[in-house]
């Protein structure tokens, strides 16, 4: 069942979204060679709590941290720990907040110092995929138009679009209906309606789209070991351009 949010609920979600956006901006200011992913996670948690919000991922199905931090060939759901990020890494940071019982969810991939041209292009195109998807997120369109727009741009560059993990509706729960795949055709899925709120989150691989789960039970990595990037926004469907809740 897809729930439509009221104006008042959207204003609360705007706060939840603002908090994750500001958190990610703070991460961007602090991510430097030598910092550990656990140090970044601590900063994320402290910042969210300082905003009178709750880190949404902590304890979510037993997840042990406030942020998911995934380096290079790690796609998503990397668990923060003692590993230091280093020059040349690309680091995907995914953050969720709960504010007055509503969720916000957003992710960005950061470059650490100088990165290769190939990694820089992967990040740039993944962000472009997200924005192309958001451009199709409006009242009356089919959800599949979002998916197709994302896939088309990734395909043009010969990248792999992760299929095993998808975007999602969001509201009083982190994951609500509908699922938002990053691949498919424009004639699939439900019709988008004003008041729906969805998280669009392309995960784009430099090589194969295939991913595998690591023994820690959380981290997904690319099957071929090539890098991956991830950008995510929480957006509200309207009659016009989508209202992006997680942009500062
Ligand atoms: N943003 C992630 C998603 O939508 C949520 C990670 S859940 C966690 O899939 F448990 F891994 F934190
Ligand atoms: Co999400």
Residue 50 domain-assigned (yes or no): yes
Residue 117 in any domain: the answer is yes
* pTM for the whole structure: 0.98
Q: Is the CB of 211 under 6 A from ligand 1?
A: no
The closest residue, in CA terms, to atom 3 on ligand 1 is 167
CB of 68 within 6 A of ligand 1: the answer is yes
User: Closest residue (by CA) to atom 8 of ligand 1?
Assistant: 57
Q: What is the pLDDT of residues 169-216, one digit of tens each?
A: 999 999 999 999 999 999 999 999 999 999 999 999 999 999 999 999
Mean pLDDT, rounded, of the chain: 98
How do residues 100-110 score in pLDDT, each as one tens digit? 999 999 999 99
pLDDT higher than 90, residue 80: yes
CB 166 within 8 A of CB 192: no
Instruction: Report how many domains make up the chain.
Output: 1
Residues 138-176 have pLDDT tens digits of: 999 999 999 999 999 999 999 999 999 999 999 999 999
Judge whether 228 lies within some domain. yes
Q: Which of 125, 130, 93 is nearest to 110 (CA)?
A: 93
pLDDT of residue 110: 99
Is residue 2 one of the residues assigned to a domain? no
For residue 57, CA distances in Å to 40, 167, 242 come to: 15, 15, 25
Instruction: Quote the domain boundaries for residue 46.
Output: 7-244
Cα distances (angstroms) measured from residue 141 to each of 137, 177, 179:
7, 16, 15
Ion ligand 2 — residues with CB < 5 Å: 105, 199, 201
Strand duo 203-205 + 228-230: pairing: antiparallel
Residue 235 falls inside a structural domain: yes
CATH number, domain of 160, equals 3.90.230.10
Which atom of ligand 1 approaches the CA of 60 most closely?
A: 10
The residue whose CA is least distant from atom 2 of ligand 1 is 94
CA of 73 to the centre of ligand 1 (A): 17
Q: Is the pLDDT of residue 248 over 90?
A: no
């Amino acid at each position: 069942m897809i729930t439509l949010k009221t104006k008042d609920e959207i204003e609360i979600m705007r706060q939840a979204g603002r908090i994750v956006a500001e958190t990610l901006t703070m991460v961007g200011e602090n991510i430097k060679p030598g910092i550990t992913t656990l140090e970044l996670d601590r900063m994320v948690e402290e910042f969210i709590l300082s905003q009178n919000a709750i880190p949404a991922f902590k304890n979510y199905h037993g997840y042990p941290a406030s942020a998911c931090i995934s380096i290079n060939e790690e796609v998503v759901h990397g668990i923060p720990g003692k590993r230091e990020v280093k020059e040349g890494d690309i680091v995907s940071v995914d953050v969720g907040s709960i504010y007055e019982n509503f969720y916000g969810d957003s992710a960005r991939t950061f470059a650490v110092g100088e990165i290769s041209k190939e990694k820089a292009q992967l990040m740039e195109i993944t962000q472009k995929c997200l924005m192309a998807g958001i451009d199709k997120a409006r009242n009356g369109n089919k959800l599949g138009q979002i998916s197709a727009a994302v896939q088309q741009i990734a395909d043009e560059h010969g990248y792999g679009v992760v299929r095993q993990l998808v975007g999602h509706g969001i509201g009083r729960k982190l994951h609500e209906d509908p699922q938002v795949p990053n691949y498919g055709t424009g004639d699939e899925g439900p019709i988008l309606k004003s008041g729906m709120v969805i998280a669009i989150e392309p995960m784009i691989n430099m090589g194969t789209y295939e991913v595998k789960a690591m023994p820690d039970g959380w981290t997904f990595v690319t099957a071929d070991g090539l890098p991956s990037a991830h950008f995510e926004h929480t957006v509200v469907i309207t009659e016009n351009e989508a209202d992006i809740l997680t942009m500062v």
